[in-house]
């Protein structure tokens, strides 16, 4: 299971700080052979307390993933990861099909 940051939205200036990240677009992906599951979303990052502010150019993906998971909360993180695993399981052992009878 791999969490990735797709994009960070930021305010050009807030409370005297430049490039203040206030929203993160993320995805979680898992590959199992030819099967791939993914979940994508975005989450707001609170900016009311900038006491631990990190300059935009000094951010790394690991830190932003940490913010993302913190804002989503353990329950949602687990739900997204479970969804990705379920997608792969469905690809391996389909429970539904489609087509036309003619």
For residue 6, the model assigns a pLDDT of 98
**Host domain of residue 44:** 2-92
In a domain, 97, yes or no: no
7-27 pLDDT tens trace: 999 999 999 999 999 999 999
Nearest to 41 by CA among 2, 80, 78: 80
- pLDDT by residue (tens digit) across 45-97? 999 999 999 999 999 999 999 999 999 999 999 999 999 999 999 999 999 99
Identify whether 101 is part of a domain. no
- The string of DSSP codes covering 50-100 is -TT---GGG--HHHHHHHHHHHHHHHHHHHHHHHHHHHHHHHHS-S-----
Report the domain count for the chain: 1
For residue 102, tell me if it sits in a domain.
no
Q: What is the pLDDT of residue 56?
A: 97
Q: Which pLDDT value is given to residue 29? A: 98
């Amino acid at each position: 299971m791999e969490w990735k940051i797709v994009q960070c939205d930021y305010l050009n200036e807030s409370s005297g700080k430049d490039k203040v990240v206030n929203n993160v677009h993320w995805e979680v992906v898992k590959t199992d052979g030819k099967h791939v599951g993914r979940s994508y979303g975005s989450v707001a990052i609170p900016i009311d307390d900038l006491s631990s502010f990190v300059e935009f150019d000094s951010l790394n993906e690991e830190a932003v993933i940490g913010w993302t998971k913190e804002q989503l909360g353990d329950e949602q993180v687990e739900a997204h990861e479970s969804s990705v695993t379920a997608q792969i399981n469905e690809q391996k052992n389909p429970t539904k099909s489609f087509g036309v009878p003619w």
